[in-house]
Structure 1
């Protein structure tokens, strides 16, 4: 009888791990968008997991480049990022990452 709480605790720990594996499957049916010269978006329509937009920004004056990332979002949600000052920074590439 003293072992019952330990067994139950083991089951309780195993259940979230199994759930995490299923939730971490990569999404699919993904699309990127470029609504204006300073912004990029990404959305995935099917699967599970999360997506975030990854944009390459270029400074119109110096030519230097940097990456900007949108937030991680679930399927059928839009991840959006902007480069910064729209009068100076432009998006040169829109991509995405999944997990």
Structure 2
């Protein structure tokens, strides 16, 4: 037998093991339901919101806030809410802080 064929045969169990492991993981992921159809927005310079319209679970808004005078950033989080409910948060004093990014988290 040549070396190339031995290497190929030696890899076969690893490939098959990888496929065997991947199938249950893919099945578990497909069965897990999470919020979908989510939207984010910034109704004012100081606030952000998130809402999801489909699926199950909860969502909350996560905004990146910037302190105008110092330029420092921090995160602010809205409350966890269910589907078709709005999670909203303000950065702090409107004359000092503003939203630079609106994102969301799900669970």
TM-score band, normalised by shorter chain: 0.7 to 0.9
Structure 2 unmatched runs, 5+: 1-31
Segment drifting more, 24-33 vs 64-73: 24-33
Point out the structure with the larger strand share.
1
TM-score of the pair, normalised by structure 1:
0.75
Deviation at 1:26, TM superposition (A): 1.1
- 1:91 equivalent in structure 2: 99
Task: Figure out how many residues of one structure are paired with residues of the other and give that number.
Answer: 76
Where in structure 2 are the equivalents of 1:14-93 lying within 5 Å?
A: 25-93=33-101
| Poorly superposed stretches of 4+, deviation over 4 Å | none
Larger Rg: 2
Q: Give the RMSD, CA atoms, in angstroms.
A: 0.9
Point out the structure with the larger helix share.
2
TM-score of the pair, normalised by structure 2:
0.70
Structure 1 unmatched runs, 5+: 1-23
1: CA distance, partners of 2:67 / 2:60: 22
